């Protein structure tokens, strides 16, 4: 963060300054950074006392000052130490958002905002990588994609940052609206409109409306990047929900039809795998098209579309094509996303970070492609927050597993019979084992697999399917498979 003055905090929050010496000027009283956690506070910081369901930051104001805070933002003076300069506001969360919005304009950077039902994090990381070879980039860390995390991300950006890449998550209507008004993005990216959170929002149309809130904060002459193949976004284009004043660029494969209103496009040729890389060509640009040869050290074909979004962001922001290609090649997955792990010759694709219907089906394609003519298995569990369409979506993923000709599927959770029914609707012979818990799944798995096989691990995050891999690996540490 760039140094700010107490006067700037007052200007941003419209708060009331208290406990400030008359002999000093708030325009000369500086703070190094904004902190909401005394565990990470540094000398010279401003401590902002957030209030949550289970905590009240005001209880830590004394500790914050002892740890080096030289000013406070509070909504109550009850627990504020005497003679500590403080800005009194009605709501400290809103104050945090306002300070972040002020700082975003202060450093004069560009902002790229990413949302969507599936793939937000990997697309955010891909865009950050694509831009990083050509400019100074700062991006959302981990899963900090709500109003507090987004505000703190902006405030953490160094003063010389040229582009901030922000992920915007939501569970209900109005949440992305709040985020985009803080960020005021120059470029917005919607990865897709799927069924994640349909349990809360009721329909894909309402999910679409929630995601389109990102356009409310889009700066004048800003850009929207969307996939040409997404049916719901096509509807939004045709019925005016993406208005004619919005500049739209499209990511596409060669088979996709690109709407005539496109101001830019990035079209990928068919990818192929060689030397541990996925290679593909792209024809991308706005007024002038650029031909590029790209490569990715990733497994999922969906990353091609993510890379195209990164390329369009970069070209729009004036980054040279060769630097964008270099940046894309630096992308790698983080956490339990498409992580390949070998245990005694068995290859596990740990993609257990989260799951929805779209990503589950893509993962089945990935494990089949990795195995080639060899054997491919899947250990899967429920996809959550699908509401009334849960049974249907789990059935559909079962259909996909059978279509990919997997050699066996182990499934647990509330909707395991729906997955099994989907598989049986296509292939009556494909082995399907319905498990009651993960220990049983590990026991069944060790009976099935042998060296050279590939195994997918995938489910919603709360199932922690990566523990299947951990338990399977522990078998060998304890002296064998036990068969």
Q: Is 45 exposed, middle or buried (0-12, 13-18, 19+ CB in 10 A)?
A: buried
Confidence tier at 483 by pLDDT (50, 70, 90): very low
CATH number of the domain within which 346 lies: 3.90.190.20
Tell me if 153 is assigned to some domain.
yes
Confidence tier at 142 by pLDDT (50, 70, 90): confident
Tell me if 96 is assigned to some domain.
no
Contacts of 222 (CB under 8 A, 6+ apart): 185, 186, 187, 188, 246, 247
Query: Judging by DSSP bridges, how do beta strands 163-167 and 110-115 pair with one another?
Result: parallel
The answer to whether residues 372 and 471 belong to one domain is yes
Domain end, chosen from 329, 356, 381, is at 329
Tell me if 97 is assigned to some domain.
no
| pLDDT tens digit sequence for 356-375 | 999 999 999 999 999 999 99
Do 348 and 318 form a contact (C-beta atoms < 8 A)? Answer: no
- Distance (Å, whole) CA 139 – CA 127: 9
Residue 118 pLDDT > 90: no
The answer to whether residues 187 and 307 belong to one domain is yes
The answer to whether residues 268 and 179 belong to one domain is yes
The answer to whether residues 300 and 445 belong to one domain is no
Mean pLDDT of all residues in 94-104 = 98
- pLDDT score for 5: 96
Instruction: Quote the number of domains for the chain.
Output: 3
- pLDDT score for 482: 45
Tell me if 225 is assigned to some domain.
yes
Give the C-alpha distances (Å, rounded to integers) separating 388 from 101, 136, 193, 213, 399.
38, 45, 17, 24, 19
Tell me if 241 is assigned to some domain.
yes
The answer to whether residues 150 and 29 belong to one domain is no
Mean pLDDT of all residues in 103-129 = 95
Q: Which domain holds residue 443?
A: 339-477
Tell me if 98 is assigned to some domain.
no
CATH number of the domain within which 47 lies: 3.40.1390.10
CATH number of the domain within which 176 lies: 3.40.1190.10
């Amino acid at each position: 963060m760039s140094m700010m003055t107490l006067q700037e905090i007052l200007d941003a929050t419209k708060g009331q300054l208290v406990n400030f010496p008359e002999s000093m000027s708030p325009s000369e009283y500086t703070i190094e950074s904004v902190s909401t956690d005394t565990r990470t506070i540094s000398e010279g910081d401003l401590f902002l006392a957030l209030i949550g369901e289970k905590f009240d930051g005001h209880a830590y104001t004394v500790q914050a000052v002892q740890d080096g805070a030289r000013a406070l933002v509070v909504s109550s003076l009850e627990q504020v130490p005497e003679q500590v300069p403080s800005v009194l506001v009605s709501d400290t969360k809103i104050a945090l958002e306002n300070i972040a919005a002020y700082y975003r304009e202060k450093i004069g950077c560009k902002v790229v905002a990413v949302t969507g039902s599936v793939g937000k994090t990997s697309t955010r990381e891909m865009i950050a990588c694509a831009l990083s070879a050509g400019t100074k980039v700062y991006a959302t860390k981990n899963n900090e994609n709500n109003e507090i995390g987004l505000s703190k991300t902006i405030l953490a950006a160094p003063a010389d940052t040229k582009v901030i890449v922000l992920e915007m998550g939501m569970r209900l209507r109005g949440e992305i609206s709040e985020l985009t008004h803080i960020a005021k993005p120059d470029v917005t990216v919607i990865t897709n409109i799927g069924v994640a959170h349909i349990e809360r929002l009721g329909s894909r149309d309402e999910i679409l409306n929630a995601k389109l809130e990102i356009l409310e904060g889009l700066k004048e002459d800003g850009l929207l990047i969307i996939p040409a193949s997404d049916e719901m976004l096509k509807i939004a284009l045709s019925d005016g929900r993406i208005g004619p004043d919005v500049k739209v660029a499209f990511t596409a494969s060669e088979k996709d039809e690109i709407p005539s209103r496109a101001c830019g496009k990035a079209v990928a040729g068919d990818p192929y795998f060689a030397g541990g890389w996925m290679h593909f060509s792209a024809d991308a640009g706005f007024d002038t098209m650029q031909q590029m040869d790209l490569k990715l050290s990733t497994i999922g074909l969906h990353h091609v579309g993510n890379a195209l979004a990164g390329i369009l962001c970069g070209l729009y922001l004036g980054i040279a094509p060769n630097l964008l290609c270099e940046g894309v090649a630096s992308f790698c997955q983080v956490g339990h996303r498409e992580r390949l792990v070998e245990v005694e010759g068995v290859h596990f694709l740990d993609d257990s970070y989260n799951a929805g219907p779209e990503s589950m089906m893509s993962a089945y394609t990935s494990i089949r492609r990795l195995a080639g003519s060899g054997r491919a298995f899947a250990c899967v569990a429920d996809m959550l927050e699908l509401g009334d369409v849960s049974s249907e979506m789990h059935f559909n993923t079962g259909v996909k597993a059978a279509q990919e000709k997997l050699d066996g599927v182990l499934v647990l959770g509330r909707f395991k019979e729906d997955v099994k029914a989907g598989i049986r609707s296509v292939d009556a012979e494909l082995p399907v084992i319905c498990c009651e818990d993960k220990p049983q799944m590990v026991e069944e798995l060790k009976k099935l697999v042998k060296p050279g096989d590939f195994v997918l691990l995938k489910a919603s995050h709360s199932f922690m399917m990566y523990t299947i891999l951990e338990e399977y690996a522990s078998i060998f540490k304890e002296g064998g498979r036990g068969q």
